[in-house]
Amino acid sequence: MDEKIKVSIVGGSGYTGIELLRILSLHPNVDIHHITSRNDAGRHVYEVYPSLRGVLNHRFTSPDEIDLKESNLVFFATPNGVAMEYAKDLLNNGIKVIDLAADFRIKNIKEWEKWYEMPHKCPDILPKAVYGLPEVNREKIKNAQLIANPGCYPTAIQLALIPLLKEGLIDPLSIIADAKSGISGAGKKNKADFLMSEASENFKAYSLQGHRHQPEIEENLSLNSSLGKAKLLFVPHLLPIVRGIHATIYVNCIKDFDASVIFNKFYEKEPFVDVMEANSCPEIKSVRSSNMCRISFFKVPDTKQLVILSVIDNLMKGAAGQAVQNMNIMMGWEETLGIHLIPLVP
């Protein structure tokens, strides 16, 4: 067995934080060190999340009262703008960092500051950040010290599009992404829209004038497009479920190709992408609580249009599961270690 590393989680009381704890508490190569939460400092983790009773005896601590540099690797499951307050000091002391928020996802500083409405605190270390989509950037992740863990919508959408864009098979300027997320995608917020009594038996679009994930998606799709800049019309929706993302993506083909061949070739060795049969419909429940992305597609008869369907669990492949996948790659461990989980049904 590999020697254990000390791992700390900043922002451990949110939904992605508790998902990290669920995975890491059983990871054979990890010793959980600090778990921070300003709101719950001093309380046992199991007092806030009884599911971890008998699994973790840690208390939440304030990030101001501990030394994160005692860790080998630090996860930031925090709101946007927090990780960049700590990242430079940690990196200078040889600590690996995985940020599950958006602080290092977009390379264009002006674009980032426009969408996140705050000045970036450490633009000088942004070039060191590797975008943590393993199926595309695995070799860079192996040698990275700072990982920008992708957003949930971007993960589902990019995995559906990159194999086609790399081959120059679709028009990169006419992509439509119609995506739906469960309530947990908004984080642990005391806001009326995200109360189950408000969201249940309801369905609606939001952020019609632009979602913060759009520039992240477009920047990374463009980097992986053989035809240059990619643009998309992206409309997110709120589903009346707790977890899961379903992305239905519409593209215009500019060459004749067999989508089954393209997707299966690109993902044939990927442990967490399941390419389903053409014309099948992947379901959110089929990936629930797993790190799997399931993809299918449908060629519209007598047209050049292709519909791609992509489903993930927003808290796993869209956040914590992918973060642990990145950690495994960074540490040179088996990539599936601790996250080779069968989806929960029912």
Distances (CA, A) of 273 to 80, 166, 209, 302, 312: 28, 17, 31, 29, 10
Residues 46, 170 within the same domain: no
For the chain (length 346 residues), average pLDDT per consecutive 10?
87 95 97 96 96 96 95 97 97 98 96 96 96 98 98 98 98 98 85 82 92 96 97 96 97 97 98 97 98 98 97 98 98 97 93
Name the residue among 231, 284, 265, 249 with its Cα closest to residue 161: 249
Q: What phi-psi label fits residue 244: left (phi over 0), alpha (psi between -120 and 50 degrees) or beta?
A: left
Name the residue among 178, 95, 179, 189 with its Cα closest to residue 144: 95
Residue 197, pLDDT score = 84
Residue length of the chain: 346
Residue 346 included in any domain: no
3-state secondary structure of 18: helix
Residues 191, 129 within the same domain: no
Residue 345 included in any domain: no
Residue keyed to tokens 């979602």: 211
What is the rounded CA–CA span in Å between residue 96 and residue 339?
20
Residues 231, 88 within the same domain: no
**Active site amino acids:** 152
Residue 212 included in any domain: yes
CATH of the domain at 198: 3.30.360.10
Residues 74, 188 within the same domain: no
Residue 3, pLDDT score = 81
Residue 2, pLDDT score = 59
Residue 95, pLDDT score = 98
- Other C-beta atoms closer than 10 Å to the C-beta of 64 total 8
265 close to 167: Cβ distance less than 8 angstroms: no
What is the rounded CA–CA span in Å between residue 327 and residue 308?
29
Domain housing 79: 5-149+319-331
Number of domains in the chain: 2
Residues 158, 144 within the same domain: no
What is the rounded CA–CA span in Å between residue 103 and residue 241?
28
Torsion sign (Cα): 32, 38, 41, 47: negative
What pTM did the predictor assign?
0.96
Residue 339 included in any domain: no
Pairing of β 232-238 and β 245-252: unpaired
Residue 246, pLDDT score = 98
Tell me 44's DSSP state.
Answer: B
Residues 228, 283 within the same domain: yes
Residue 282 included in any domain: yes
